[in-house]
Amino acid sequence: MSKPLSAPVWPTLFAASATASMGIQAQLIHTLRKALLAGRLPQDSRLPASRMLAKDLAISRSSVEAAYAQLEAEGYLERRAGSGSFVAFTPQLRPSKKTASASAQLSQRGQGIVDAGGCRDTTLPSLAFNAGQPDTRAFPHALWQKLMQQRWSKSGAALASYGPAQGLPELQLAIAGYLAQARGVDCQPEQILILNSSQQALQMIAQLLIDPEDTVWLEDPGYLGARNAMLAAGAQIVPVPVDQEGFNTGISQTLAAPRLIYTTPSHQYPLGIAMSLPRRMTLIAQAAAHQAWIIEDDYDSEFYYDQRPLPALQGLDQQGRVIYVGTFSKVLFPSLRLAYIVLPPALVPAFITARIAFDGHSAQFLQAVTADFITQGHFATHLRQMRLLYRSRRDLLLEKLQPIADVIKPVNTAAGLQFALQLSKGLEKPWTASGTTAGLALRPLSAFYQKEAKTEGWLMGYASLSNEQIIRASETLIKSYQEK
């Protein structure tokens, strides 16, 4: 049980924030949200009981209760029956570039890495409508705990020492089996390299395969984490437009020869398009002609609701040019820190050496528990359940957005943890502002474009939101339309 926050926090919290024009309840919500966003209330710490806080602040207990309820719906707090309200939120304190370069004397390369930035798409908690977030509450925590216990008893000691850089053989085997069956990936377990995250995969690929000034084709709009990894490696990025069939191979054939091509064929990020089969074949042929590598980032294809996704590009490739990237962050839970790549055989030795040089290997025990989770059949069960859950949330969100159907257009809603919501022209900027003020996490589609944005809208995450959060956040979004 967490300790309650120490009493002295509260007076200082409320001292400087009395805004006369706000009602008591709104003021309380505002003050608490600001403190949470600033990281002044640590994750998992317990808030004062509503009765106590009401007494301290000389306001009604029902105001406190209502404020806590609102903040819970927004994802900042979690109320646990019988034990109180807890902070469910840790802000990502991302420093400004100015501070980073002040007296830090970074190398030019280091400054380039910092300027390219990290991948900020997945670092916010499950506020509506943040994208890329699975529902970690729906994970079978008790089962996982049981598997951890069994695994530690059986081989905790045996797995405590340094392990193989390429990953635990059992997990390589389990992943190869799953990918062959579910994604049509054609590989030997030895081609699988276990990593900490798909961001690590993108960084390693960029470092090992790209030299400064090398051309990289990137989907436009596209995934910022990939763009940043390529920029950090010094790549010359050539944006390739996306249409209703995905990556536009008609246009790409007219572009500068690439060394590397980054794609999300199953579920284009952020627009959600599935790349058509003819385009896939053409892209593979283009890569072969240019002797370029293709990164197939298959980040959430497990979550399909209306039809199965096409098998992976990797399975179509006869030339060994596709590097398949998968992650457990979304199908299990993000802080597990396990992802993997399927490498063409020619690249395996270099990547193993680089993994040793970079950071050794991933935690063996967690690899073993993950392998058990898959081979004992729990993974398939969990995916089935999450598909049902996320589908129901998608359906609810689509239903709740009906009242503003004339100004919005949800597209490619058949799969994933989010969908793109297109907006009528001119709405993105003012509406994002009013929605953000109202406490929503809105991610404008324009941010994913290299240059000029062709689509206005947002990437709408729904998978991690409870029904109540979806309902309330939809109401807030609709209300903020009037206030924009």
Q: 65: buried, middle or exposed (CB in 10 Å: 19+, 13-18, 0-12)?
A: middle
Residue 85 is a binding residue for a copy of itself (CB under 8 A): no
461 C-beta neighbours (distance < 10 Å), count:
26
Contact indicator for 41, 2 with CB cutoff of 8 Å: no
Q: How far apart are CA 460 and CA 129, in angstroms?
A: 5
What are the Cα distances from residue 102, in Å, to 96, 106, 109, 224? 10, 9, 16, 25
Q: Which is nearer to a copy of itself, 314 or 434 (CB)?
A: 314
Question: Which residues have C-beta within 8 Å of that of residue 127, sequence separation ≥ 6?
Answer: 74, 75, 76, 89, 439, 440, 441
User: Could you tell me the smallest distance in angstroms from the CB atom of residue 350 to a copy of itself?
Assistant: 4
Does position 81 interact with a copy of itself (CB under 8 A)? The reply is: no
Q: Contact with a copy of itself (CB under 8 A): which of 3, 6, 158, 377? A: 158
Q: Which of 85, 215, 362, 422 binds a copy of itself (CB under 8 A)?
A: 362
Contact indicator for 460, 421 with CB cutoff of 8 Å:
yes
Q: What x/- string results for residues 8 through 47 when contact with a copy of itself is judged by CB under 8 A?
A: ----------------------------------xxx---
Window of 62-70, 302-310, 358-366, 409-417 that interacts with a copy of itself by CB under 8 A: 358-366
* Per CB under 8 A, 403 contacts a copy of itself: no
Q: Which is nearer to a copy of itself, 258 or 311 (CB)?
A: 258
Exposure b/e, 279-300, CB count within 10 A at least 16 = b:
bbebbbebbeebebbbbbbbbb
Q: Does residue number 165 form part of the binding site for a copy of itself (CB under 8 A)? A: yes
Q: Is 241 in the site for a copy of itself (CB under 8 A)?
A: no
- 319 contacts a copy of itself (rule: CB under 8 A): no
Kindly state the smallest distance separating residue 174's Cβ from a copy of itself, in Å: 14
Q: H or E segment at 57?
A: helix 50-57
196 vs 34, 201, 249, 325, CA distance in Å?
Answer: 32, 8, 32, 12
Task: Please report how close the Cβ of residue 334 comes to a copy of itself at its closest, in angstroms.
Answer: 5
* Least CB distance to a copy of itself at residue 380 (A): 20
> DSSP label at 259?
S
DSSP designation for 254: T
Site size with a copy of itself, rule: CB under 8 A:
108
Site for a copy of itself in 181-220 (CB under 8 A): 195-197, 199-200, 203, 207-211, 214
Q: Could you give the CA distance from residue 32 to residue 41 in angstroms, rounded to a whole number?
A: 9
Which C-beta is closer to a copy of itself: that of 184 or that of 334?
Answer: 334
Binding range to a copy of itself, per CB under 8 A, among 228-236, 247-255, 406-414, 420-428: 228-236
- Residue 333 lies near a copy of itself (rule: CB under 8 A): yes
Can you tell me which of 153, 254, 318, 482 binds a copy of itself, judged by CB under 8 A?
153
> Quick one: tokens of 163?
């392990």
Q: Which is nearer to a copy of itself, 147 or 421 (CB)?
A: 147
| Cα 33 from Cα 278, distance rounded (Å) | 49
Sign of the C-alpha dihedral computed for residues 435, 437, 440 and 444 taken in this order: positive
The contact mask relative to a copy of itself for 100-139 (x = CB under 8 A, - = no) is xxxxxxxxxxx--xx-xxxxx-xxxxx------x--xx-x
Q: Report the first-to-last Cα separation within the chain, whole angstroms.
A: 42
Query: Smaller CB distance to a copy of itself: residue 183 or 355?
Result: 355
Backbone angles phi, psi at 363, to 5 degrees: -55, 120
Taking the least distance from each CB to a copy of itself, the nearer of 248 and 370 is 370
Rule CB under 8 A: which of 260-299 touch a copy of itself?
291, 293
Interacting positions 409-448 with a copy of itself (CB under 8 A): none
Residues 6+ apart with CB under 8 A from 149: none
Among residues 15, 93, 377, 482, the one that binds a copy of itself under rule CB under 8 A: 93
Task: Give whichever of 233 and 322 is closer to a copy of itself, judged by the CB atom.
Answer: 233
How many residues does the structure list for the chain? Answer: 484
Residue 140 near a copy of itself by CB under 8 A: no
